[in-house]
Amino acid sequence: MADSLILEVADLEVDVLTGIYSEETGKPQPLRITVTARMKPAHRYEPDTHLSASKNYMDLKFAATEALPEGVHFKLIEAVAEHICDTLFVQDQRVEAVTVKIVKLAIAEADEKIGMTLTRERR
């Protein structure tokens, strides 16, 4: 099996315009988003290895927050995940795969976690 490097930003709470029901449209819903990106790692990571040998974790956070277009309503949270994947693939050619897990916080009734996980490989 080949070596891989998995970067992760977990449990970001982001308000996103999403949903298909009338009570969901027109107002942002809170989502909990976790993003992982798989990259081929450097040969070795020494104590003085420069950041360019990896990827800045803040790029993952940016893709799940500020990179989401303001004012755009995503009918499905799957489309939100797709946008995050696309953003990371465009940002860095070294990203081999992205996994986005989204939990819709507003529809939970008893602390259950209702949502989806999308994994995309670079094509």
Rounded to two decimals, the pTM is 0.93
Residue 26 — pLDDT band, cuts 50, 70, 90? confident
- Condensed to tens digits (0 to 9), the pLDDT of residues 59-112 reads 999 999 999 999 999 999 999 999 999 999 999 999 999 999 999 998 888 888
CATH match for 5-46+56-121 among 3.30.9.100, 3.40.50.1820, 1.20.140.10, 3.30.1130.10: 3.30.1130.10
Residue 24 — pLDDT band, cuts 50, 70, 90? confident
Tell me the percentage of the chain whose pLDDT exceeds 70: 100
Spatial separation of the C-alpha atoms in residues 93 and 59, rounded to whole Å: 13
Domain boundaries, the chain: 5-46+56-121
Tell me the percentage of the chain whose pLDDT exceeds 90: 81
- Left if phi > 0, otherwise alpha if psi is -120 to 50, otherwise beta: which for 62? alpha
Strand partners, 118: 100
- Condensed to tens digits (0 to 9), the pLDDT of residues 33-44 reads 999 999 999 899
Taken in order 81, 83, 87, 89, is the CA torsion positive or negative?
positive
